[in-house]
Structure 1
Amino acid sequence: MSEAGRSVDEAAPPAITDPVGTMLDVLDLDSSTARTTEDIFTGSSHPMPSGRIFGGQVLAQAIIAADRTTDDDRVPHSMHGYFLRPGDATRGVTLSVDRIHDGRSFSTRRTQAFQQGVPIFSMIASFQREDAGLEHAAPFPEGVLSPEDAAARAADVQLHPLSRRLLDESPIEVVHAESAVYDRVAGPHVPRQHVWMRTRRPIGDDPALHRAALAYMSDLTIQESVLRAHGVPWALPGLKVASLDHAMWWHRPGRVDDWLLYAQESPSARGGRGLATGRIFTRGGVLVATTAQEITVRVPESAISGD
């Protein structure tokens, strides 16, 4: 489950002094067993205030595990995953990869993440050998504040101490182009937002690591387009949010240690569920990836828009 299910008054674990180093350690999987049709990998978990594993962590770990079972000339182009149970951030993760299919151009892998023998996440991903073909891409959004201007405006905003700690200890620097929705929702209540993201320091040049870290980042803030539409901040008492599934399509290479713009939109919310979609661009306007995620969201009746 995503860390989005946290409560703001829960006790936090000890402070993380090197968030990026912690993320890289978590993504550095060990191979413990190799079989003819299955590969087993193990990884650690990084601390989270709620004690639940951050969804982006297991997304990234699952992609890395699957990637290690494919040929070097094949890269992930899509994944579809389901969060089955809340993960325990105090325990490690075991990842089992099934080599479903290897064709001339595409390879398909199924990855399941386990804790204490119970599956917490299940994913199918497809890998492709790069081929020439038709090409077009959605344009970069117009009128979005630069990360520097957005950061300067956000510097004067006072946040709840736990919200501030979550931001400071994240390996990902996050800057909302409109306004953050941690403690309150300022501005129009619309189902869209733009968020700048990058790792807090360089992570090297390994393309596989950048693709996995992009999956990690893709689970951050995507749920907020649902909340913003109804003026619901993360700090609202009684708010319960959890990720149900996540899909991602990698289109082009991109570095996660350079600024990336995450354009997010929610086309629908109903029946305690909300759907969010996202497009990730380089600062230069190149479309790197597209994402989609459905969440469960429960709010006090008085907080529903229009009440």
Structure 2
Amino acid sequence: MPDTHLGIDNAADVPKPGEILPMTWQGKNLSRNCFRLGMPLELVPELLSYANHMGITGFYRDLVIDGNPLAAGGERVMEFGEDSHQWMVQRPKSHWCSNMHWVSPALESAHDDYLRVLGAGGFDQVLEAVGNYFELEALSAYHLSFIGVSHCEKGYVHADVSGSGRKAFNIIIPLMLESDADPELEILGDEGEEDATQHFYKYRINAASMVGDDALHATAACDYRPQGQMRLAATVYVGDITPENVDELLTSLTQAYPPPGDASHLLERAGQHWSRSDSSKRLPLPT
């Protein structure tokens, strides 16, 4: 069994907006590709307001608090919001041992609507920070979702991204947290799944966790059901999409948009939202 440490020693301090910090334990980086990232202060209110207005927050309450979840491995298309955008609702298979669900855009119209909320919330600052920190040429926010959970028996260890050449990351942005909860994210070091040390990271509002290539992590065990509460987060995959990594990026996606297996679709949208050489590349804003 892996050794376990409760907590991460730099998790108490919320990074400044745009600041990227490695996840550390006793002065040592936990993983080459696990980071903490400060969010613009207007981002979480924008995302939470959007989820509330669209009916996504209320739908999650029905799924994970009121006891009406999808079956493990199930999925369905739903319409949310006044414009009836189509979203895909999915619950992972039973080996995840949780009632976590994903709600993600099913079509480009819903994806673009989500992008405008990120633009209004100042996420361009995040893209610039990531691009400069990793010395990338360009970035797109290419895959978006909301995730919610109220119960997890044991986290399923996995990596969200592999083979990108350290050019793609999943940014997990907490929107609703249960007060006084135990740390929510399990992180394994780079030694490998079997012998790596487990660490547990406490989510903070305005501090995202960012995981990249082969960064092993899992949802920590939790149960908010007695309090009638849930945890809600936004996830934003950002990447410097290239012909060399596009096929690997596609293999890490399990949801409806971007279209599964369509490399040309992703490549056509490469560098849409930030470019080192073109300052006009930005997220769209609400009209």
> Structures share a fold, TM > 0.5?
no
TM-score class, shorter: 0.3 to 0.5
> When the two structures are superposed, what TM-score results if normalisation uses the length of structure 1?
0.31
Greater share of strand residues, 1 or 2?
1
Of structures 1 and 2, the one with the larger relative CO (CA 8 A, separation 6+) is 2
> When the two structures are superposed, what TM-score results if normalisation uses the length of structure 2?
0.32
